[in-house]
Chain A
Amino acid sequence: MTWQGVAQIFVLLAAVAVLARVMGGYMFRVFEGGHTFLDPVLVPVERTVYRLCGMRADEEMRWTVYLRNLLIVNAVGFVLLFALLGLQQFLPLNPAHQPRVPFWVSVNTAVSFVTNTNWQVYAGETTLSYLSQIWLTVQQFVSPVTGICLFLVIARGFARHQTGTLGNFWHDFVRALLWVALPLAILGAIVLVALGSPQNFSAYVHATTLQGGHQLIAQGPVASMTSIMQLGDNGGGFFNMNAAQPYAGPNVVALVVQLLLGFAVPAGCIYLFGKMIGDVRQSWAFYAVMAIMFLAGALLLYHSEAVGNPIINHLGAAGQSNWVGKETRFGIGSTSLFENSTTAISWGSVAASNDSLTPLGGMVTLFNMMTGEVIFGSWGVGMVGMIAYAVLAVFLAGLMVGRTPEYLGKKIESFEVKMSVLAMIVPSFVILILAAISVLSGAGRAGIFNPGPHGLSEVLYAFSSGVGNNGSAFGGLNSASPWYSATVGLAMLLGRFPMYIPLVAMAGALARKQRIPVTAGTFPTHTPLFVGLLTGTVVVVGALLFFPALALGPLAEQFVMQAGHVF
């Protein structure tokens, strides 16, 4: 480890705190009534959208109506994307003459991009036409915006009192697109082009290399897709190797820009929550919990990659770090930071081959996803998951002192606890059950690439990524096989809708309750004590649920590697 590699983690976390404040304040004005500098341009556009689409954006909705509209938009998006991918060979902007997208790939990809997962069972540059990539871009705008709508409705459950309504879905959705997603994506894309990402519709370039060989170089509208894939925490890249492909990640400056794009809205949601409930101290408590877990993961991952693989180091070459599947310009430090970020935020863009991480490094990425993607998490849903953990934490604290738990002025009763636990059961249920079936079945085992305990890690990673709507992969796994296309597709759906719908229902119940005044007996939830309790809850829930699986996968491999054994 170098001091530079450690320093950059702290610099990033400081930048994220600033982003949280700036973006959170801005989004509060966008969603909860206020003025922004973009209003003169965007308000007329917004009105036009409502008129063209026949939407009533001023009527308040009950949580059931809000949720129904959200599901309808997602369903329509799925059908449209699935159809357009299937028609690729008949449509224009296909200079590389990519043929029909196979059926399972279309299904899996449509689910993947609608659920904000961006799990990719295909390699972009060898499968998709430029137009198909553009259709994916549409979902890269729409799916994170769906996430922020889930967050807004749940946050209003705490912010509002004695009411049955939680806002207007069309208002939230269209404003998130126009005020947040589109301007930042345009800004990000232009910066990325300036830093080196291509943006064209040219045919793939034929080059005669310096020593006389022939090289075919993929082209395309790379910068526009990279910008929204990072901003929206989508992660589905233009190329097979995502941000590691030098056109998508031309240098470490571009990588830092992409990190900031990825953190912008999730961090903003932390502060936005505090603004909505009228107590920003709560936001900084949440930030502290996330930052502590992020820091622990980043340091362990970096340390493990810097120390490297003892079996290879034993061969006697210079240095010791694990360079397998990493790019020179990012180095070990920034690569580790990016891989920790991409799994902490439910993001999934990669700047390295995660399958080739050291066992402990890989375990950090797995654990980040297994928490239910609450260490920042993607647009809104990371905060939502953390709020569910907080409800559980105050419930636990209530049990200890024998008091009816309260949280943010709301009495937490059995319905709220049940809904929170229901949401938390989804990831563990999906990861453990589907991974168990996969390693027991021939079809599941056939898709594993690396032998030994690492093979189990590959399977665990696939379902953690799917249910966490992350989208990164241990790339050796044959994710395009029908078995993994279908099962990971199922995991993505379960991790999106069954995971968050109970929490929307909880918000509906909370909004109807009256506010309990703060008294001397109220358990404060903005103190270091609560930060410790909440961190402990996330870690203990994660550890209890997943420790046996992690022991058989990455931990076993770590011990085997230390002993110098290979498979």
Chain B
Amino acid sequence: MTLRSIWSAIRLMVLSSLVLGLAYTFLITGIASAVFPQQAAGSLVTLHGRVVGSRLIGQEFTSPGFFWGRPSATSPAYNGASSAASNLGPTNAVLIAHVKARLQAFLKANPGVTASQVPLSLLESSASGLDPDITPAAALIQVPRVARADHLSPGRLRSLIQQYTKGRFLGIFGHPYVNVLELNLAVLRLRRP
């Protein structure tokens, strides 16, 4: 009786591996690449025929002429092949030191901005280390710096941010955000029309 059950269980697990593992995964892959090829391939973004990243995966921006994303805890920053959070707890001195240092660095890079204007989300690292978005407030605070560096009018940049802001789902879920890569691609188009 037990032997018979073991033999049945072995056959069931082998069958499961074939159907629930392989067939299921390949079926979804087939449907995905036929119906949603762009998403299935990773929402990649190309510029002049070159892959410049993925719309969904944040990338590092440090130059003053681009909008910057949030601090990333991956090693190195924005490592698209190794998502990670800092895991720092709220009473960890290292966390406080990091936030302090980022605030100082941000103020230095954005003259004219005061501490009380800098959103916390720009000073605290994301969960994945690959957050592709920032809040509209975090984008607006960077307008003077980007405008100066790119010789663009702040008004045009502000309307660009408004244009690229996405709202909450059903008006209640999530948080309004701007995709940093899409915003910077738009800035590039403004720079070299």
Are A223 and B28 touching (Cβ within 8 A)? Answer: yes
Query: Which residues A205-220 have CB closer than 8 A to chain B?
Result: 205-211, 213, 215-219
Distance from B13 Cβ to chain A, minimum over Cβ atoms (Å): 5
Tell me whether A217 and B42 are in contact in the complex, defined as CB-CB below 8 angstroms, given that A247-B57, A451-B92, A474-B87 are known contacts: yes
Contact with A along B42-53 (1 / 0, CB 8 A): 111001001111
Q: Which bracket fits the contact residues of A?
A: 35 or more
Determine whether A429 belongs to the interface, using a CB cutoff of 8 Å to chain B: no
Point out the residue from B7, B32, B125, B188 that lies within 8 Å of A324, measured CB to CB.
B125
A177 to B19: give the CA distance in the assembly, Å: 11
**Within 8 Å CB of B44, what residues of A?**
205, 207
**Within 8 Å CB of B28, what residues of A?**
186, 189-190, 193, 199, 221, 223-224, 227
Determine whether A251 belongs to the interface, using a CB cutoff of 8 Å to chain B: yes
Determine whether A311 belongs to the interface, using a CB cutoff of 8 Å to chain B: yes
Are A318 and B120 touching (Cβ within 8 A)? Answer: yes
A359 to B60: give the CA distance in the assembly, Å: 31
Are B17 and A138 touching (Cβ within 8 A)? Answer: yes
Determine whether B161 belongs to the interface, using a CB cutoff of 8 Å to chain A: no
A331 to B171: give the CA distance in the assembly, Å: 13
Closest to A216 in B: B81
Distance from B5 Cβ to chain A, minimum over Cβ atoms (Å): 5
Q: How many of chain B's residues have a CB under 8 angstroms from any CB in A?
A: 105
Determine whether B110 belongs to the interface, using a CB cutoff of 8 Å to chain A: no
Point out the residue from A54, A197, A332 that lies within 8 Å of B175, measured CB to CB.
A332
Closest A-B pairs by Cβ, 9 of them: A331-B175, A252-B174, A353-B85, A244-B127, A476-B87, A217-B80, A454-B89, A450-B89, A199-B32
What are 28 A-B contacts defined by CB distance under 8 Å? A76-B10, A126-B81, A137-B21, A138-B21, A142-B13, A181-B20, A185-B24, A197-B39, A200-B32, A201-B29, A209-B60, A210-B52, A216-B80, A217-B80, A218-B83, A239-B83, A256-B173, A311-B91, A317-B115, A322-B90, A323-B126, A324-B90, A328-B175, A333-B175, A451-B93, A457-B89, A566-B91, A566-B96
A45 to B179: give the CA distance in the assembly, Å: 46
**Within 8 Å CB of A76, what residues of B?**
6, 9-10, 12-13
Distance from A130 Cβ to chain B, minimum over Cβ atoms (Å): 9
What is the predominant secondary structure among interface residues of chain B facing chain A? mixed
Tell me whether A194 and B39 are in contact in the complex, defined as CB-CB below 8 angstroms, given that A68-B2, A210-B53, A211-B62 are known contacts: yes
A54 to B188: give the CA distance in the assembly, Å: 65
Point out the residue from A207, A240, A317 that lies within 8 Å of B52, measured CB to CB.
A207
**Within 8 Å CB of B90, what residues of A?**
309, 311-312, 322, 324, 356-359, 454, 557, 561
Are B59 and A209 touching (Cβ within 8 A)? Answer: yes
Residues of B that sit less than 8 Å from A by CB: 2, 4-17, 20-22, 24-25, 27-29, 31-33, 35-36, 39-44, 47, 50-54, 56-63, 66, 70, 78-93, 95-96, 99-100, 103, 115-121, 123-135, 137, 168-175, 177, 181, 184-185, 188
**Within 8 Å CB of A351, what residues of B?**
127
**Within 8 Å CB of A218, what residues of B?**
80-83
**Within 8 Å CB of A245, what residues of B?**
83, 128, 130
Point out the residue from A72, A357, A476, A565 that lies within 8 Å of B6, measured CB to CB.
A72
Are B81 and A328 touching (Cβ within 8 A)? Answer: no
Point out the residue from A8, A138, A450 that lies within 8 Å of B88, measured CB to CB.
A450
Tell me whether A73 and B80 are in contact in the complex, defined as CB-CB below 8 angstroms, given that A141-B16, A318-B117, A324-B125 are known contacts: no
Contact with B along A340-376 (1 / 0, CB 8 A): 0000000000111101111100000000000000000
**Within 8 Å CB of B177, what residues of A?**
328-329
A182 to B24: give the CA distance in the assembly, Å: 8
Distance from A224 Cβ to chain B, minimum over Cβ atoms (Å): 4
**Within 8 Å CB of B70, what residues of A?**
323, 328
Closest to B97 in A: A566
Are B15 and A217 touching (Cβ within 8 A)? Answer: no
Closest to B51 in A: A207
Determine whether A436 belongs to the interface, using a CB cutoff of 8 Å to chain B: no
Closest to B90 in A: A309
**Within 8 Å CB of B175, what residues of A?**
252, 328-334
A560 to B88: give the CA distance in the assembly, Å: 16
Determine whether A567 belongs to the interface, using a CB cutoff of 8 Å to chain B: yes
Point out the residue from A126, A190, A316, A318 that lies within 8 Å of B32, measured CB to CB.
A190
Are B169 and A316 touching (Cβ within 8 A)? Answer: no
**Within 8 Å CB of A201, what residues of B?**
29
Are A325 and B115 touching (Cβ within 8 A)? Answer: no
**Within 8 Å CB of B40, what residues of A?**
193, 198-200, 223
Distance from B29 Cβ to chain A, minimum over Cβ atoms (Å): 5
Point out the residue from B13, B87, B103 that lies within 8 Å of A450, measured CB to CB.
B87
Point out the residue from B24, B27, B83, B92 that lies within 8 Å of A241, measured CB to CB.
B83
A207 to B13: give the CA distance in the assembly, Å: 40
Are A53 and B91 touching (Cβ within 8 A)? Answer: no
Are B128 and A327 touching (Cβ within 8 A)? Answer: yes
Distance from B117 Cβ to chain A, minimum over Cβ atoms (Å): 6
**Within 8 Å CB of A544, what residues of B?**
none
Distance from B33 Cβ to chain A, minimum over Cβ atoms (Å): 7
Are B66 and A211 touching (Cβ within 8 A)? Answer: yes
A186 to B121: give the CA distance in the assembly, Å: 36
A313 to B92: give the CA distance in the assembly, Å: 15
Tell me whether A329 and B24 are in contact in the complex, defined as CB-CB below 8 angstroms, given that A215-B80, A244-B83 are known contacts: no
A6 to B92: give the CA distance in the assembly, Å: 29
Determine whether A43 belongs to the interface, using a CB cutoff of 8 Å to chain B: no
Q: Give 11 A-B pairs besides A177-B20, A452-B91, A453-B91 with Cβ atoms closer than 8 angstroms.
A: A49-B12, A68-B5, A69-B9, A72-B6, A123-B84, A193-B39, A200-B33, A202-B41, A223-B32, A328-B131, A330-B175
